[in-house]
Structure 1
Amino acid sequence: MVDHSLKGKTVLIAGGAKNLGGLIARDLAAAGAKAIAIHYNSAHTQPEAEKTVAALQAKGVKAVAFQADLTTAAAHTKLFTDTIAAIGKPDIAINTVGKVLKKPIAETTEQEFDDMFAVNTKAAYFFIKEAGLHLNDHGKLLTLVTSLLGAYTPFYATYAGSKAAVEHFTRAASKEYGARGISVNAIGPGPMDTPFFYGQEAPEAVAYHKTAAALSAFSKTGLTDIEDITPHVRFLVSDGWWMTGQTILVNGGYTTK
């Protein structure tokens, strides 16, 4: 019988240095993961990555951090190769990497379009590819997308559009990897109380989003808090293994499909 608990598992988290990624790392460690590799994008994020690694090590977890720009296929190959060399083949691979742009289509430049699809689409695809090549049998693969996949709204064409492709990648990968017992899913959080959100929104938009979810009145910020997402991540990469090929919007009733 396969053990789907987190005890003794090895984890790789892309974008695992801070905010939601950092909290996921700490949460999975508390649930029993024995080794965690976290990826961070640039030198700017390195101090947060080191802080997360230190916190994990203080809990007795074998933890390492790797820097990479994940907009090339080669970077993903190296990330998985380095992870395996440092802590062993992962049982769980989670990609939280993303980039947001709020801008009318008529004002979007070609470079902005290319940058959004490099981070949100290309990087997600090749992370899924390398996970399929390197995860242990009965592994778990999870990508963070966005609840805007269930929205009818202007201004987020490149963001939601570049994340929409991941829903299709997820379904295909779940079929292709299922023969090895690997489950593949995506979680779409609502607008989260992180710098990732506030950098794109005017004050009046922030005020709207803080009241837009059905459960906004019961959130400490009105938005999706990162603590609201980690239980769902933990479930999907452990006992929730029977759910696969799904994109789940976790947003307190902000949008639905």
Structure 2
Amino acid sequence: MSQSLQGKTAVVTGSSRGIGRAIAEGLAANGAAVAVNYVGNKKAADDVVAAIASKGGKAVAIQADISVVDDVHRLFDQTENQLGAIDIVVANVGIAVIKPLIEATEADFDLVFGTNARGTFFTLQEAARRVRDGGRIIAVSTGGTRMFFTQTALYLGSKGAVEQFVRVLSRELGPRGVTVNALSPGFTDTDLLPERDRALAAGMSPFGRIGAPREVADVAVFLASDEARWLTGENIQAGGGVA
């Protein structure tokens, strides 16, 4: 284990699988104690905690649905009670409904924006209240907000909102030495990337492949470190050169 984040406490929302899990494990591998957040799959979250513990790290699993504001408050309360004052928050939770804009329903809108935009907003708000001076806040967006894709209006619209939250909050927390950045993965090997799109996605990168969750997580760990203290209000692209 590296010790670059020793003594730090982190909250990673949606960290029982995929990129969130890789970020939680990466932060723990660098010495942070991590709150592994999940909504319904307790076993998956417990597996992450066990994997971290097996390598000498410290983590706890905390159930919370970030689309519910009371759950957000409880997530931060339980993290502080179990792990101590919070230094790093990664707002990673995201869901997608893929369909043409003209076919999207009110329920679709409420689901996607309720989680990705509203849920992330209140996660960032609570992070701003709780993170210690000099802390790090990272919101996961997507490289798709710079591109033109059909059937993604709900997902990309909600993530576009997240990027604006980051820009504003970075200015508001600057006097406390807290950095606030967006991290935008490209096509990554998770269950959110349909099998039918993988070959096309690989061809869009100069590396000729899609990314691994660990490769995105490594960027998140950097943004959480002291080495990233001069970066704030940025949208860091982690997409293997896809543009």
Q: What is the TM-score of this pair, normalised by structure 2? A: 0.94
Residue 65 of structure 2 corresponds to 69
Amino acid at match of 2:211: T
Match for 1:86 among 73, 82, 86?
82
In the alignment of these two chains, the number of paired residues is 240
Whether 2:242 is the aligned partner of 1:254: answer: yes
Question: How far apart in 2 are the matches of 1:64 and 1:254?
Answer: 35
* Aligned mates of 1:82, 1:39 — CA distance in 2: 11
Cα offsets for 1:221-245 (capped at 9, x unmatched) = x212112212211111101121001
Q: Distance in 2 between matches of 1:173 and 1:39?
A: 23
Structure 2 residue runs without a partner (length 5+): none
Matched, 1:182 2:178: yes
Instruction: Give the corresponding residue for 1:196.
Output: 192
RMSD: 1.5
The Cα shift of 1:183 comes to: 0.2
Stretches of structure 1 that go unaligned for 5 or more consecutive residues are none
The structural deviation recorded for 1:78 is 1.0
Aligned sequence identity (%) = 36
Counterpart of 2:220 in structure 1: which amino acid?
V
Secondary structure in structure 1 of the residue aligned to 2:193:
helix
| One-letter identity of the residue aligned with 2:203 | T
Aligned partner of 1:17 in structure 2 is: 16
Aligned to 2:220: 233
Listed one character per residue, the Cα deviations across residues 20-58 of structure 1 (whole Å, up to 9, x for unaligned) are 11121221122122x21110011xx21110011112223
Q: State yes or no: 1:206 paired with 2:198.
A: yes
Is 2:130 the counterpart of 1:142?
no
Q: Identify the residue that residue 8 of structure 1 maps to in structure 2.
A: 7
Q: CA deviation at 1:188?
A: 0.7
Which one-letter code corresponds to 1:114 in the other structure? D
Counterpart of 2:198, as a letter, is V
Q: For residues 225 and 56 of structure 1, what CA distance do their matches in structure 2 show? A: 19
